[in-house]
Structure 1
Amino acid sequence: MSGRGLRPVSGPPARLRRLPAAVPRDRLQRHQMLWLGGRSVAWMPPLLLLVGIVVTDWNAGRDFRIISWLVLVPGIAAAICGVWGTAAFAVLTTLTYLVADRTWPEEFQAGLPDFLLTAIGGVLATLACAIRVSGEERMLHMRDVTDTIRRTVLRPLPPGWGGLDHAAVYLTADVEAAVGGDFYDIQPGPHGTRVLLGDVQGKGLGAVEAAAALLGTFRESAYHEPDLVTVAERLETRMIRHAGHCAALGRDDADRFATAVLLSFPAHDPGTLESVVFGHDPPLVIGPSGVRQLPPGEALPLGLGELTGTPEPPSVLRSPLAPGETVLLTTDGVTEARDAIGTFYPLADEVARAVAADPRLAEPRLLVSFVRDGTLRHCGGLLADDTTVFAVRRPG
């Protein structure tokens, strides 16, 4: 589940998982690089700076006093410590200045102006730290909101969900975003297990909203409807209704559409795969016998079915599926990834060569990792669009 590129999907790094549970989350976010042996060492840089300034001032000549440089100490603390830590350094710096400036009366005295500079600098540093911490807390709150949206739109899929081995990698072109217009899901039901992957046209919250609407319809209809064609019709109707709602609100994204792939693993026929392709890149089937592409079909993207004048139900394509074969679905972030000279990523050829060299690569987890790494390597880590790699297969 990246400045652009791979976004981690397996939870926090091991060094964060080892930290005490009582450590506040905001401190984890601020100081995750300033921990040693389970304890924060954010106080060390400003303390070392303070000691260094005092020692240098002690050993410098009488005409070279740098004691007023202590004003830098609370400034450094404000960048890496908490509010109370910064305030403590502000007080410590002021007291250190008073002691050091008066200890050696034969030396040149910096006097009241530099004392005021140090004191006022400490106060300003504490205020700046308070503003910084407040901004971090708002950022963490927004990240929590974004994570909630992600879990709602792209719900976590348990291992073996719907009787399928599966693996997915989701990368956003915007490193600050957690979810975009790509969507996927698995829905088991009494008529078999259905799989949906799609890509909403456009970006931003409007694309996320459309993806959420389609996923909600898929999760209900894929469970209740016995025929895959009915599920496909409901998805088309939902996209049209969503566009009508956006138009009624006067939004400029009312003509939004979505490409998608709808699959069904029938419960009564384990050797068959049913598919409906809505203007999307057809899936690849990878197995011991090689790599083949499913038929593209003739269905238009979701939301554009009315362009034909008299929309007809999409045709369901049935393809043989041998034991051990994996179905690979990707969005155009993979197939349209370009290298420095503008060449598209040759997905099918790359996968075919890799599987021929190592048939174990057909395993979903290894397959999505291979495609992810190959895509990022091909485009130099600069994704032009949201990218989803999704692989499913019946257990061997």
Structure 2
Amino acid sequence: MSDHQAPWRRRDLLRVRGRSIAWVPPLLLLAGITLVDLNTTERFRIISWIVLVPGIAAAICGVWTTAAFAVLSLLDYATVNALWPHRYQAALPDFLLVALAGLLAALACAVRLDGERRMLHMRDIAETTRRTVLRPLPPGWAGLEHAAVYLAADTEARVGGDFYDIQPGPHGTRVLVGDVQGKGLGAVETAAALLGTFREAGYHEKDLATVADRLETRMIRHRNHTVALGRDDGDRFATAVLLGFPPGAPDVVEVVNFGHEPPLAVGPAGVRSLPPGDGLPLGMRELATGSGPPPTRTIALAPGETLLITTDGVTEARNGDGEFYDLPAQASRAATADPARLVAGIRDGVLRHSQGRLSDDTTVFAVRRAATPR
């Protein structure tokens, strides 16, 4: 669980049937301190501990509830103190301490709630930005069964650079899954630029190699533009897998790999890895000996096989012993080629393996041709 989710998870734990019970712990503490003080000797007076009550309320209750506990604590302190003989009663500075503790608790509660509201606003902005870049995909879109899950690892509510999309067109359906190096708005802008080019080129261009070339050109143009703005994006790159499902050829898929982990083909016969990509990531073509895009490979698919593509958050997930998540083994153990169930199984496996501590943003994407295309 990330830090920016913690306040809302904690608040859910303090609700029963939709009603808040956050007032119960400070009330029990108040009653406990009062009873102990009244049932012990003068050598063990703990009524001054009542300053803890508004402090506990400030951590889990609202401002008005915290203020009510501050007043209640002061009144309880005065009442219990009056029941003792005069020589054992507290002096005026003790009353001032309890009053000051209640005031500070109310102020601290107001600051806490303001911080939570800011976190919620940031989370909403991050979610809106992610949904703008990663548009929702209809079920059975373009004759493909698909499923995807995105898990953000950044505890500061910043969005990462994972991206995916499906684009139907007159030359078949194209799929793009990738990961931009880095995090933050710079990575999001790069992902949005690549997806915009993919949606246009994937629809209009006949050859998948041309789509790949357009993506590389767009990456270079975007990087040059950000550098001209004075930003430190001159070395940003993106790994990606570009798939093409040509019409009239249900048993093959075209693959262009830009330095990404090769997809896994999961089917009734088991799990197999597609040939590794020998292309460089997007934005690094100048390092290659040739000037063209990575080669386009045509790979045969067995009936019912699903292509599983993940980003670094899956392959680099580690457990407490530092062992990496074994994706092929876990995909085999899932024993299903259904995209939705396969993605859910990998997601749950990664979270169990890493104990919920993801080192990078994580995307799991699965796609296959639908048995009855829409």
Corresponding residue of 2:341 = 366
Matched, 1:219 2:196: no
Cα distance change on mapping 1:144 and 1:373 into 2, 3 Å: closer
- Give the Cα separation in 2 of the matches to 1:42 and 1:54: 20
AA paired with 1:222? G
Q: Give the SS at the match of 1:87.
A: helix
Shift of 1:126: 0.8
Cα distance change on mapping 1:121 and 1:310 into 2, 3 Å: same
Corresponding residue of 1:120 = 100
Q: Is this contact kept in 2: 1:150–1:178, CA < 8 A?
A: no
Q: Is this contact kept in 1: 2:2–2:153, CA < 8 A?
A: no
- Give the Cα separation in 1 of the matches to 2:86 and 2:349: 70
Q: Is this contact kept in 1: 2:213–2:292, CA < 8 A?
A: no
Q: Give the SS at the match of 1:301.
A: coil
Matched, 1:293 2:268: no
In the TM superposition, 1:55-134 aligns within 5 A as 55-105=35-85, 108-134=88-114
Corresponding residue of 1:245 = 225
Cα deviation code 1:258-287 (max 9, x no counterpart): 111111222333233122111222222222
- Give the Cα separation in 1 of the matches to 2:47 and 2:324: 61
Q: Is this contact kept in 1: 2:314–2:325, CA < 8 A?
A: yes
- Give the Cα separation in 2 of the matches to 1:339 and 1:103: 58
Q: Give the SS at the match of 1:77.
A: helix
- Give the Cα separation in 2 of the matches to 1:326 and 1:56: 65
Cα deviation code 1:344-376 (max 9, x no counterpart): 555335545x37xx4xx1111232234344545
Shift of 1:107: 6.4
Cα deviation code 1:303-359 (max 9, x no counterpart): 12234476235543222233311111122333445667776555335545x37xx4x
Corresponding residue of 1:23 = none
Matched, 1:393 2:373: no
Q: Is this contact kept in 2: 1:147–1:178, CA < 8 A?
A: no
Q: Give the SS at the match of 2:31.
A: helix
Root-mean-square deviation (Å) = 3.0
Cα distance change on mapping 1:281 and 1:104 into 2, 3 Å: closer
TM-score scaled to structure 2, two decimals? 0.87
Corresponding residue of 1:168 = 148
- Give the Cα separation in 2 of the matches to 1:336 and 1:37: 40
Corresponding residue of 1:49 = 29
- Give the Cα separation in 2 of the matches to 1:35 and 1:340: 32
TM-score scaled to structure 1, two decimals? 0.82
Shift of 1:86: 0.6
Among candidates 203, 207, 211, match of residue 187 of structure 2 = 207
Name whichever of 83-92 and 215-224 sits farther off: 215-224
Q: Is this contact kept in 2: 1:65–1:110, CA < 8 A?
A: no
Matched, 1:187 2:162: no
In the TM superposition, 1:374-393 aligns within 5 A as 374-375=349-350, 383-393=358-368
Percentage identity across paired residues of the two chains: 65
Corresponding residue of 2:215 = 235
Q: Is this contact kept in 2: 1:65–1:108, CA < 8 A?
A: no
Among candidates 262, 266, 273, match of residue 246 of structure 2 = 266
Matched, 1:135 2:115: yes
Aligned pair count reads 371
Cα deviation code 1:30-53 (max 9, x no counterpart): 621111222111111111122222
